[in-house]
Chains A and B, each alone.
Chain A
C-alpha cells in the first residue's frame, strides 16, 4: 500500500527534533518504530506532511535506575524491555507486558514511547504504565513537564501530549517489599492486540495484607483505565480467592465498553472481570 507524499527529517539531536516540531506542530509527526504510524500512512489514514525520525537521536533508548526510579527512554524497543534481565528482577511486569506485544519483528522495531504516544485503545503498554503509576516526561522547545499516567491517556488515540511535545522518558517507582506482578491478555485473533489486557502490581505488608495495588486495564474501553474500585477492594485486605474474586468483579464497573465482531461490549466487560481475577491471583502467587 502506498502512503501519500511526505517530507522526512532525521535530526541528530532532540533539540533539533523539537524545533522542527515546533515549526510545524500541525502537520509534522514524530517517527519512532513506525509500527503504528507507517501502517496508518499506508492506508492513508494518516497523512503527515513531515516525518521527524527520532531514531538517530542519541540517548533516547535506555533502561536506568536513578533516584529509586526505573527510567526508560521513549525509544526503548519492546524487545529491549522484554529481554532486560534487570527488569525481570525488579519489575517483571514490564518484560511480561512487552513479550505479549505482536511478534518478534514488531517487538524489535516498536518502542514503548511510540506505543504510549499512539494510545491505541487496545495497546498493551498503557495498562502496565497505569498499574505502575508511572510518570511520563514530555519535552518541547518550551521546556519539560511530567505527566502522571492517569492523566496521560485522554481518549482513543489521544494523549495529554501537546502537538509540539515529544515523550522523552517513562519513570516508574521501583516496587519494593513483597510485590507480585502479572500481565494477562486475550489476544485479538486478527490484530494480536488486547481484546482485554489486565496489568496488576500488588504489594503485601508484613501482616500479609495488601498494602498497595495497581490495576490497569486496556482493550475494554476507548482508553486504558485504572480499575480504582478493584484496587480499593484489595488494599487492606488479604488477597485470598474470595477477596480476589470480589475485588475483580468491579473491573469494568461504570466502563463504557467497546464492541466489535469478535467481542461485544458485554463480553469484554465479562473478560475484564475474569482476567482481572486471574491476573491478581497470579500476581499474588508470584510473591515470594
Chain B
C-alpha cells in the first residue's frame, strides 16, 4: 500500500519557493491599494498627552490618520483566549489611547498612497509623551514598585499552583535536595517573512477579504469578525504563502483588525508589511521565565519530587495565549521520568515589554530545560553519570499509558530504546574516555545528554482554548484528480507534500494527481491551524478518516457499477474489484483468456481536449470485474446510474477530535569543546535520536528536527531579547539579535526510533517542536559538564564566551 508514505519524497512546495514564484502577502498587488505605516511608541511607559497629526495630514499622499481615540470605540479589544482563575486581563485596544506600555506599542496608523508617503508622514506626527518609570525586571515587578495597569493595583496578572503529590513530604523524605536558580531568557521568533496584512473591502458586496501571514486563518476570521463587527460569513481570510511562524503567527494582532477596519472605512484595499524592526518590537516574544528549581532525590538517584517556582515575564498585554504558556510548562515538568510529586508555582507578571506567547515549543522547552538541568544537578550532586540517573527514573515501556504527577497520560514510549540508540550512535563510553584523556591534556571538553518528552498533537478540545480538533475534506473531481482541503494551514512545514503522500497511498492514485488546498476560509471548511506539532497527528488523521468515508461511498458506487454488493468489493491500489471467492478464483483459472479484456483497468478518463466539452463519457462497466476510483468518481458526478439512496458527487469531510495528546520523545547528545583562552564553545558532535511515532516523510521530519536544533543552539548560545533599564529594546535589529547562521551549526547525526501511538489511526505523534525542546538542555548540559572541573554546576543562557572565560579565568581547576 505504501508507495509514498515513509519515503523521502521531495517537497512539492519547493520549486515555486526556490524560483521566487510563490506569493506571500506582499506579492499580492491590488489596484488602488493604500499603504499603512504605524507610529509606535519610542518609550516603554509613558502617558500620551496629545497626538498632533496636523503636519502629517498635510504631507503628500496622505489619505487618513487614525489614532487610538478614533478607533477604540469602533474596534473591539485584541483577544486573549486563555482563561485562568482570577486572571487580570487589561483592556487591550488596537491603538494606544492614554498610555503606551512598551516600545513599539502602536499609537497611530497613517494611511497614504504608497508605503513611502505613509512612512514619511508617520515621521511628522507629533506625540506629546510624559515618560513614566518603566517596569522591566519581572521579578522586581512582582514585588512592587511602579504599576503598569493601575486598575489592578499590582503587576501580578495571576498566580497559579499546579501539580500532584505531597511535594513537601517528597522533598523532606529526600536524601539530598538541590536548589538552582534557572532562567529561560526572552527570545524573538524571527520568522523569515515578517507579518503582513492586506485587506480589501468591497462596499457593494459588503465583503471583506483579509490576506494575512497567519498560522490560523479560521480562528483569525472569527476573532476579526468579533473585533470589527462584520458578520463572519462576510469575512474571508486568506493566508497565502507564509514564510515561517514558529508560533508568532498563532495570534490575533491589532494590525490585522486595523487593516480590515481601515479598508472598510476608506473603501479601498489597505496594506501593511511589517518591517524587521517592527517584528522585533511588536511581534510576540517567547520564553521569559525566571525561576528556581528544587529537586529531591535518594542517594541512588531516584527523584522524589520536583518544585518549580517561576516568575513569567508576560509583557504589557495578553496576546492570544500569553498567560497560558507557563501552564504548559507546568504540565511537562515530569519530563521522561517517574516523579511522584511535582509542583509548579507560577506568578505571571506584567512588564513594559512586548507580550510573550507561543514560540516553538511554547512552555515545553522551558519545562524540559528545567527537568533536564535538574537531572544533571542530581547526577553532579551524587557523582553519578547523568545517563545512569536518567535510566533510574525512566518508566518502563510496559508502564504506558503512564500517568504523571502533572495530570497527564503519556500514550506510549520506549525511552530506554531511544537513549540506547543515541548512546550507541555517539559512542558514549568512548566519548567519556576521550574526555578523560582530553582533560589530562588540559582541554575543556563536555558531553551533554537530554532525554526529553514532549506533548504534541494539541489537542483534545477540552484542553484547548478554541477547539483542538482538525478538519479535512477530500474530493475526487470528475476527471479523477484529488483535492484535499485541510484546516491545518501550514507555514512552511510541508503539508502539501505529506498530506498528498497520505492521500495518494490511501486512494491508490499518483501523488501528482493530488492537490492539497489550505489557508482560504472561503474554500476550506473551518479548521484550527498549524501549531503545537498537531498538523499531521490531528489534521493528517482528519484527511485519513475523510478518505475512509469517501472510499466507503465509492465502494458502494463501484459495487453498483460492477453489478454486485459492496460487501463483495475490495479496494487496492486505486481499483475496486470483485472479491475473488474460491469458486470464482477457480473459474477465473479456466476462463482467463475470455475475461482478459474486461479485466484491464482502463486509463483514467481525461476528457480535456477529447470530444465536445461537457459530454463526459459514461464509463463502460458491462461485464467488468474492476473499476478504477477515477471511473467511480466520474460516475458519481454524472449520477445517471447510482445505487439507491446515494448522493451524487464524491467527497467526504471529517472533523477529527483526538482523545489525548501524543508524547514524542528522544535523546539528544551534544559534545562541545571550549577554548580555554577565550571561552568560545565549539561543537564536536551532535547526535539525536527522535521518536515521533510513525513517519510519513523522513525528509520532512529531519528538516523539522534540524530547524528545531538550530533554534535551540540559538537559545543555548546566542539569542536573547534585551531591554535596558528604561525598557529600550537593545536587540532591535538582526545586527544585535543573534540568530544562528549556517557556519555556527555543526553536522547533525540524526536517527530515529518508531514507537507508534494509538491516539490516532495513523500512529503519528508530531515533530515540529522536538528540536527546540530536546536540544537546548543537551547543549547547556554539555557546557556545564565541560566546566565541571571548575566547580560549575550551572550556567545561564545564552552562554556567551565572556561568561565562560570569566569562569575559567577566576577559578582553579
| Contact A5:B741 (CB < 8 A) given known A43-B277, A43-B733 | no
Q: B679 to nearest A CB, angstroms?
A: 8
Residue among B678, B680, B738 making CB contact with A190, cutoff 8 Å: B738
Contacts of B120 in A (CB 8 A): 4-5
Q: B763 to nearest A CB, angstroms?
A: 40
Question: Is A271 a contact partner of B738 (Cβ separation < 8 A)?
Answer: no
| Contact A274:B678 (CB < 8 A) given known A4-B120, A261-B730, A267-B802 | yes
Residue among A4, A192, A261 making CB contact with B741, cutoff 8 Å: A192
Scan residues 731-768 of chain B and give those whose CB is less than 8 A from a CB of chain A: 731, 733-741, 744
Question: Is A186 a contact partner of B733 (Cβ separation < 8 A)?
Answer: no
Closest to A273 in B: B677
Is B722 an interface residue when CB atoms closer than 8 A count as contact? yes
Scan residues 249-284 of chain A and give those whose CB is less than 8 A from a CB of chain B: 261-264, 267, 270-271, 274
Chain A binding surface, main DSSP class: loop
Scan residues 195-216 of chain A and give those whose CB is less than 8 A from a CB of chain B: none
Name the interface size band of chain B. 20 to 34
Q: A212 to nearest B CB, angstroms?
A: 27
Cα distance A44–B744 in the bound complex, in angstroms: 31
Question: Is B116 a contact partner of A5 (Cβ separation < 8 A)?
Answer: yes
Contacts of B158 in A (CB 8 A): none
Cα distance A245–B360 in the bound complex, in angstroms: 46
Question: Is A190 a contact partner of B744 (Cβ separation < 8 A)?
Answer: no
Cα distance A274–B809 in the bound complex, in angstroms: 13
Question: Is B276 a contact partner of A189 (Cβ separation < 8 A)?
Answer: no
Q: A231 to nearest B CB, angstroms?
A: 22
| Contact A190:B722 (CB < 8 A) given known A2-B115, A267-B805 | no
**Chain A 88-103 near chain B by CB (<8 Å), digits 1 or 0:** 0000000000000001
Q: B185 to nearest A CB, angstroms?
A: 12
Closest to A195 in B: B801
Scan residues 667-717 of chain B and give those whose CB is less than 8 A from a CB of chain A: 677-678, 680, 717
Closest to B740 in A: A189
Question: Is A263 a contact partner of B802 (Cβ separation < 8 A)?
Answer: yes
**Chain A 175-193 near chain B by CB (<8 Å), digits 1 or 0:** 0000000000010111110
Contacts of A188 in B (CB 8 A): 738
Is B461 an interface residue when CB atoms closer than 8 A count as contact? no
| Contact A190:B276 (CB < 8 A) given known A261-B722, A267-B802 | no
Question: Is B734 a contact partner of A271 (Cβ separation < 8 A)?
Answer: no
Contacts of B275 in A (CB 8 A): 1-2
Q: B717 to nearest A CB, angstroms?
A: 8
**Chain B 788-809 near chain A by CB (<8 Å), digits 1 or 0:** 0000000000001110010000
Scan residues 1-56 of chain A and give those whose CB is less than 8 A from a CB of chain B: 1-2, 4-5, 43-44
| Contact A1:B738 (CB < 8 A) given known A261-B722, A264-B802 | no
Question: Is A191 a contact partner of B735 (Cβ separation < 8 A)?
Answer: yes
Contacts of B722 in A (CB 8 A): 261
Is B93 an interface residue when CB atoms closer than 8 A count as contact? no
Is B119 an interface residue when CB atoms closer than 8 A count as contact? yes
Cα distance A276–B677 in the bound complex, in angstroms: 13
Cα distance A224–B717 in the bound complex, in angstroms: 28
Among A1, A103, A186, A261, chain B packs the most CB atoms within 10 A around the CB of A261
Is B718 an interface residue when CB atoms closer than 8 A count as contact? yes
Question: Is B718 a contact partner of A189 (Cβ separation < 8 A)?
Answer: yes
Interface size for A (C-beta < 8 A) is 21
Q: A147 to nearest B CB, angstroms?
A: 29
Cα distance A4–B731 in the bound complex, in angstroms: 23
Question: Is B116 a contact partner of A190 (Cβ separation < 8 A)?
Answer: no
Q: B741 to nearest A CB, angstroms?
A: 7
Cα distance A271–B801 in the bound complex, in angstroms: 11
Contacts of A263 in B (CB 8 A): 800-802
Cα distance A190–B736 in the bound complex, in angstroms: 5
Contacts of A43 in B (CB 8 A): 277, 733
Contacts of B740 in A (CB 8 A): 189
Question: Is B119 a contact partner of A274 (Cβ separation < 8 A)?
Answer: no
Contacts of A5 in B (CB 8 A): 116, 120
Cα distance A1–B731 in the bound complex, in angstroms: 17
Cα distance A274–B739 in the bound complex, in angstroms: 26
Q: B181 to nearest A CB, angstroms?
A: 20
Q: A203 to nearest B CB, angstroms?
A: 27
| Contact A190:B734 (CB < 8 A) given known A2-B119, A5-B116, A261-B722 | yes
Contacts of A103 in B (CB 8 A): 741
Contacts of B735 in A (CB 8 A): 190-191
Contacts of B123 in A (CB 8 A): 4, 44
Question: Is A1 a contact partner of B276 (Cβ separation < 8 A)?
Answer: yes
Cα distance A261–B721 in the bound complex, in angstroms: 11
Cα distance A235–B801 in the bound complex, in angstroms: 33
Question: Is B678 a contact partner of A271 (Cβ separation < 8 A)?
Answer: yes
Cα distance A43–B737 in the bound complex, in angstroms: 16
Q: A82 to nearest B CB, angstroms?
A: 16
Question: Is B802 a contact partner of A191 (Cβ separation < 8 A)?
Answer: no
Contacts of A264 in B (CB 8 A): 802
Q: B674 to nearest A CB, angstroms?
A: 14
Among B276, B680, B734, B801, chain A packs the most CB atoms within 10 A around the CB of B801
Q: List 17 A-B contacts (CB under 8 A).
A: A2-B37, A5-B116, A5-B120, A189-B717, A189-B740, A190-B718, A190-B734, A190-B735, A190-B739, A192-B741, A261-B720, A261-B722, A261-B736, A262-B800, A270-B678, A270-B805, A271-B678
Chain A residues in the interface with B (C-beta under 8 A): 1-2, 4-5, 43-44, 103, 186, 188-192, 261-264, 267, 270-271, 274
In order of increasing CB-CB distance, the 8 nearest A-B pairs are A189-B738, A190-B738, A2-B119, A267-B802, A191-B735, A1-B275, A189-B718, A274-B677
Chain B residues in the interface with A (C-beta under 8 A): 37, 115-116, 119-120, 123, 275-277, 677-678, 680, 717-718, 720, 722, 730-731, 733-741, 744, 800-802, 805
Given known contacts A2-B119, A190-B734, A271-B678, what 14 new A-B pairs fall within 8 Å (CB)? A1-B277, A2-B115, A43-B277, A43-B733, A103-B741, A186-B680, A190-B718, A190-B731, A190-B736, A191-B736, A264-B802, A267-B802, A270-B805, A274-B678
